[in-house]
Amino acid sequence: MLQLALYCALGLGALTLLVLIQVLVLGEIFRRRAVRRQQFNEQWRPFFALCSLSDEMPPTHAPLPRRRQLWFLLQWNRTQLQLRGAARERMNRALVALGMDRHALSLLRGQVRGKLIGLTCLRHLADPAHWNAVQPLLTSRNSIVALAAAQTLVSMDAAKAMQLILPAAVDRPDWALPRLTSLCQQAGEQAVTTPLLIVLSSSPDPRRERLVNLLVYGDPRHAAPWARARLNEDASTEQLQVALRCLSELGDPRDRPRLLRALQHEQSDVRLAALQALHKQARSEDGDVFLPLLSDSSWWIRQAAADSLATMPGATLEGLQRLLEQVHDRYGKDALRRAMAEVRR
């Protein structure tokens, strides 16, 4: 038993020593790689600076070995994030002149990390000629790769890309709504509105409901018929809120009766959206509309109603003081006093 214990202790000591040696060796390898990476970046940084400042191609270094081409693309992507306008176009021309765009395309057939680097490069290039190489990645099972492909397609052709992305988003619950929002903002309202309205009106899939929130990034003039139809039927609370936000952006006085009806809705979120829409087209005689809302059960509605009263056309401190005397709810009085104090500032 003593011999067995001795052998176990020796074995454990040897194993510990091997692990320690492995950690030291790997640490040294990573340190040397970091040094080489830093030297590479410092070597190519002047080249990138000259590319961004001059239309002429600066002299290049020796041809890059394949194992360094990935470092080149990473540094190029990082530099592009700091540039705007003509400087970015010059960098794009330099990348094509060096033939590194072909390497970026080859990365799309590799592992996830390589695909993301390649998609980032192609997004900066924004060349529609690469459309067919990127489009298949939109259906990737990896949601990060699929969303990166969507962002790249939008940079190439926003209108064409949204016709593919929005229908695909119905079947991809793993695409987070904030990422879809970012894509819509990148594409612009003209590219978003029509494909989104088609999806919302034609798809029977209940999962399409989560895309309703994206409609506020579309053109309110084209979204208005959809919004008015939702207000005229028994739609969900979320749809009613989005519809009211669309009409708020449009600011059409003909929608005023619909907004007034929505002020009577049982859900406070709908009433608040209607109040915010009315605030944008308030009239000098709307005191009778906003005053009863100071007694609403929702804190947010009381504050918004007080702000609307304090900022509506023709409002004066004397007139607000008279309105304050008509308020019997003490919380409503507090809200109106707060709005009056901010107006005085």
- Model confidence at 32, in pLDDT bands (50, 70, 90)? confident
Per-residue pLDDT for 61 more than 60?
A: no
Instruction: Tell me how far apart the alpha carbons of residues 95 and 213 are, in angstroms, rounded to a whole number.
Output: 38
User: Average pLDDT for residues 321-340, to the nearest whole number?
Assistant: 89
What residues have CB less than 8 Å from 109, skipping those under 6 apart? none
Q: Of the given ranges (64-73, 186-195, 255-264, 275-284), which has the lowest mean pLDDT?
A: 64-73
Instruction: Tell me how far apart the alpha carbons of residues 252 and 96 are, in angstroms, rounded to a whole number.
Output: 49
Give domain limits for the chain.
Answer: 88-128+136-156, 285-345
Per-residue pLDDT for 57 more than 70?
A: no
- DSSP state string for 29-62: HHHHHHHHHHHHHHHHHHHHHHHHH-SSPPPP-S
Structure tokens at 182: 């970012």
pLDDT recorded at residue 40: 79
Give residue-wise pLDDT tens across range 263-303. Answer: 989 999 999 999 999 988 888 888 888 989 999 999 999 99
Per-residue pLDDT for 119 more than 90?
A: yes
CA atoms within 13 A on the CB side of 185: 7
Give residue-wise pLDDT tens across range 122-148. Answer: 999 988 999 999 999 999 999 999 999
With pLDDT > 90 as the criterion, what percentage of the chain qualifies?
A: 34
Of the segments 70-84, 139-153, 322-336, which one has the largest average pLDDT value? 139-153
Instruction: Tell me how far apart the alpha carbons of residues 68 and 48 are, in angstroms, rounded to a whole number.
Output: 16
Q: What is the pTM of this model?
A: 0.77
Instruction: Tell me how far apart the alpha carbons of residues 250 and 215 are, in angstroms, rounded to a whole number.
Output: 13
